[in-house]
Amino acid sequence: MNAQTPLLKVEGVETYYGAIRALAGVDVEVHRGEIVCLIGANGAGKSTLMMTICGQPQARQGRILFDGEDITRVPTHLIARKRIAQSPEGRRIFPRMTVYENLQMGASLDNQTYFKEDVEKIFTLFPRLKERQAQRGGTLSGGEQQMLSIGRALMARPKLLLLDEPSLGLAPLIVKQIFEAIKLLNQQEGLTVFIVEQNAFAALKLSGRGYVMVNGKVSMEGPSKELLANPEVRAAYLEGGHH
Amino acid sequence: MTAAAQPPRIPSDDRLKWALREALFAGLISFGMFVLYVGLETTQNIRNQLVLNQRWGLLAILVAIAVVGRFLIVYFIGPWFAARKAAKAAKTEVPTQSLLRRNIGWIALLALLVFPMAMVWLVGPQKSLKWVDNYGVQILIYVMLAWGLNIVVGLAGLLDLGYVAFYAVGAYSYALLSLYFGLSFWTLLPLAGILAAFWGIILGFPVLRLRGDYLAVVTLAFGEIIRLVLINWTDVTQGTFGVSGVPKASIFGIWSFEVGADNNFAKAFGLRQSSAYYKIFLFYVILAMCAVTAVVTIRLRNMPIGRAWEALREDEIACRSLGINTVTTKLTAFSIGAMFGGFAGAFFAARQGFISPESFTFHESAIILAVVVLGGMGSLFGIAVAAIVMIGGTELLREMHFLKTIFGPDFTPELYRMLIFGLAMVIVMVLKPRGLVSVRNPTAFLHERKAVSSAFTKEGHG
């Protein structure tokens, strides 16, 4: 593939829940090695876009291209096998399986070739997980669960990592830790990350480019620095809460 | 109620008062509940008239049990449990298991291997029948069924209320194919398993999108459909009359247990004719089948498919986002679970020699499920213990003649089977809400395997 092709290209995607239109023609591009964020208010359709990329639900209109290949109608588990990994909203770890088993589930697509190596990598990234590896996922704190959810996604050696609200319900210090880990992965390994966040300030700080979503449409896009400085964005998402 | 939640530190005067009050309430409630059910009894006399009997004595006994029981629970047992819980919580170190506990599985297997011989030696061949057949074989059938259902319910988390359908498919496959085509037990055993697995897939397809309650209802209906087909397809299955004269299993075709056969086992070895040999043979067959089930389950749990089942039980969406094909995962769980049901069914038909739709009612499904739940879902050892307690316990009720001296000569303990069954379930669920054995051994570990006690976690999403 030529380097100019975006890794992920969402073209005019419309998604419906029954008769309700949640996405009204969304265009998003994510290039290799980028961290791109998507910010917006509750119910803007951020998570729906994330789920639509994974084919759950599938888009009714428009196309989703991954590495130039149309994945709009591909079943979810096959999309995952193209190495799009997601840390879903609400983390969705396996509560009754141990931390180690959770990580192993993340690597279920691999033939265990890189398993040991990858586990060590994730334990270096999140030392807390190493301490808790024999514990059940459900007994972890929220922050640890988020680390586990990201770690599990990383075990699949993804080309694209989708993060849905990683800061949800976490203490600012933990959010900082997690975002630093993501930044590290991006800088050291060139991991491409598409992150959906309500915590607009932290997300814009982390990312290179950003999209702002309102009522199922992208209303603004540009380099994160510009969005941070933009008075409209500031008024809508940033005022009254610097973290 | 609140007995366990009450802190143990309250002064004993208050506790006594409180316990007395609780006991009084329990007495009133049980009086209200039982006065019409137990206190008054209606029977018909010879002229078909309704006669009202009053049974105040029995009612008084029941109410007294409730009062005294409640008092004991609140005053003694509740604080004792609370104290024990506190002591347990204070003790952080996980105790190392003793040699006996670590090797309990092997010890149990050894005991089972010598069990029939020991019984023959202890009580003679004729009397051993009861122990080997009514207890041994019957319990092991349920162990096998429960282990099969455990794959569907315990591992994959798909609540199946119609599991007995696969048991029926296996039983009828063996009975009909052996009667119509003269095929032997050892040919038909795998075939019965395959046919049941096939029906497992047929059930699996329409319920792929369902979970929880909805799945339970559809599987319940499926169990009933199979039973109704067996009743109404009279040309083949002979309906409610059942299939009789089902051939016995043979020792791999070399020796037979049919009385008239030339290669009769007893004749070949010059032994006295007795049905004990067949029962002992059956015992070892079902023991071997159980062992295969256990080994397969343990192996599968360590393989990707087994772990995918467990992950599916936890979170279906997360599974899909990790690239697991949930369709094949569910179907394999249904079909492998069904296959073991089919094996057990074929064995059941060979053992009984007679099968009818009566043996495959919802009641059976419920008992198998109860055994799985009581044993602690996913734990093979716990399920085996639960099967012994539940099935062996109900058999033991027949032996309890001393109950007649307490409740009068008309008292037939078997009739109270379900009541005791229910009581046992309530007790286990109150004391051990995750089943008898609620420790789950992780299948994946970095340095050493550590059992994870359920005490560390709560149900659901933490």
Residue B458, min C-alpha distance to chain A (Å): 7
> Percent of chain B scored above 90 by pLDDT?
24
B365 within domain boundaries? yes
Residue A199, min C-alpha distance to chain B (Å): 23
Q: Parallel, antiparallel, or unpaired for β A61-66 and A8-17? A: antiparallel
B450 within domain boundaries? yes
- Say if residue B227 is in the same domain as residue B124: yes
Check the CA dihedral B383-B389-B394-B395 and report its sign. positive
Length of chain B measured in residues:
462
Looking at beta carbons, which residues of chain B come within 8 Å of A111? none
Mark yes or no for CB contact A156/B440 under 8 Å. Answer: no
Instruction: Provide the number of structural domains found in chain B.
Output: 2
Looking at beta carbons, which residues of chain A come within 8 Å of B317? 56, 88, 92
Q: Which DSSP state fits B303?
A: S
- Say if residue B206 is in the same domain as residue B67: no
From the list B368, B399, B405, B355, the residue with the least C-alpha distance to B246 is B355
Looking at beta carbons, which residues of chain B come within 8 Å of A139? 456-457, 462
Q: What is the pLDDT of residue B35?
A: 85
Looking at beta carbons, which residues of chain A come within 8 Å of B440? 96
pLDDT at B447 over 90: no
B448 compared with B271, residue with greater pLDDT = B271
B136 within domain boundaries? yes
Looking at beta carbons, which residues of chain B come within 8 Å of A105? 307-308, 311, 319, 322, 324
C-beta neighbour count of B178 within 10 angstroms: 24
B391 within domain boundaries? yes
Q: What is the pLDDT of residue B3?
A: 45
Check the CA dihedral B42-B44-B48-B51 and report its sign. negative
- Say if residue B289 is in the same domain as residue B214: yes
One-letter identity of residue A168? L
**Interface pTM (ipTM) of the complex?**
0.83
- Say if residue B119 is in the same domain as residue B84: no
pLDDT (average), residues A91-109: 87
Mark yes or no for CB contact A78/B323 under 8 Å. Answer: yes
Q: Which residue of A has its CA nearest to B445?
A: A100
Looking at beta carbons, which residues of chain A come within 8 Å of B316? none
pLDDT at B453 over 70: no
pLDDT (average), residues A79-99: 90
- Say if residue B28 is in the same domain as residue B168: no
Q: What is the pLDDT of residue B450?
A: 52
Interacting residues of B435 by C-beta distance below 8 A, sequence separation 6+: B373, B374, B375, B376, B377, B379, B382, B386, B428
Mark yes or no for CB contact A92/B457 under 8 Å. Answer: no
B266 within domain boundaries? yes
CB burial of B101-129 (b: ≥16 within 10 Å; e: otherwise) equals eeeeeeeeeeebeebbeebbeeeebeebb
- Say if residue B242 is in the same domain as residue B286: yes
Q: Which of B322, B325, B377 to mutate to test binding with chain A, by most A CBs within 10 Å of its CB?
A: B322
Q: What is the pLDDT of residue B417?
A: 72
Q: Which residue has the tokens 């993060």?
A: A163
What gap in Å lies between CA B39 and CA B322, rounded to an integer?
61
Interacting residues of B255 by C-beta distance below 8 A, sequence separation 6+: B263, B264, B265, B268
Lowest mean pLDDT among A171-180, B281-290, B426-435: B426-435
Looking at beta carbons, which residues of chain B come within 8 Å of A161? none
pLDDT band at A39 (very low <50, low <70, confident <90, very high): very high
pLDDT at B117 over 90: no
Q: Which of B155, B321, B456 to mutate to test binding with chain A, by most A CBs within 10 Å of its CB?
A: B321
Beta bridge partner(s), residue A40: A213
Q: Which residue of A has its CA nearest to B302?
A: A101
Mark yes or no for CB contact B446/A133 under 8 Å. Answer: yes
Mark yes or no for CB contact B322/A108 under 8 Å. Answer: yes
Give residue B84's domain range. 3-90
Mark yes or no for CB contact B307/A108 under 8 Å. Answer: yes
What gap in Å lies between CA B417 and CA B343, rounded to an integer?
27
Mark yes or no for CB contact A134/B440 under 8 Å. Answer: no
Q: What is the pLDDT of residues A147-189, one digit of tens each?
A: 999 999 999 889 999 999 999 888 889 999 999 999 999 999 9
pLDDT at A242 over 50: no
- Say if residue B271 is in the same domain as residue B349: yes
Looking at beta carbons, which residues of chain B come within 8 Å of A95? 314, 457, 460-462
Last residue of one domain, picked from the residues B90, B124, B149 = B90
B416 within domain boundaries? no
Mark yes or no for CB contact A134/B452 under 8 Å. Answer: yes
A149 compared with B242, residue with greater pLDDT = A149
Residues belonging to chain B with any Cβ–Cβ distance to chain A shorter than 8 Å: 304, 307-308, 310-311, 313-315, 317-326, 440, 442-446, 450, 452, 456-458, 460-462
B72 within domain boundaries? yes
CB burial of B208-220 (b: ≥16 within 10 Å; e: otherwise) equals eeeeeeebbebbb
Residue B313, min C-alpha distance to chain A (Å): 9
A2 compared with A204, residue with greater pLDDT = A204
Q: What is the pLDDT of residue B166?
A: 94
pLDDT (average), residues B61-89: 85
pLDDT at B459 over 50: no
pLDDT at B345 over 60: yes
pLDDT band at B461 (very low <50, low <70, confident <90, very high): very low
Check the CA dihedral A48-A51-A57-A60 and report its sign. positive
Q: What is the pLDDT of residue B154?
A: 87
Q: What is the pLDDT of residue A32?
A: 93
pLDDT band at A192 (very low <50, low <70, confident <90, very high): very high
Q: Rounded mean pLDDT of chain B?
A: 82
- Say if residue B37 is in the same domain as residue B183: no
Q: Which residue has the tokens 């003269």?
A: B182
- Say if residue B233 is in the same domain as residue B366: yes
Beta bridge partner(s), residue A241: none
Mark yes or no for CB contact A96/B317 under 8 Å. Answer: no
pLDDT at B446 over 60: no
Lowest mean pLDDT among A20-24, B203-207, B410-414: B410-414
Q: What is the pLDDT of residues B12-26, one digit of tens each?
A: 678 888 888 889 999
What gap in Å lies between CA A152 and CA A85, rounded to an integer?
9
Interacting residues of B216 by C-beta distance below 8 A, sequence separation 6+: B159, B160, B161
Hey, which residues 45-74 in chain A have their CB within 8 Å of chain B? 54, 56
Q: What is the pLDDT of residue B458?
A: 38
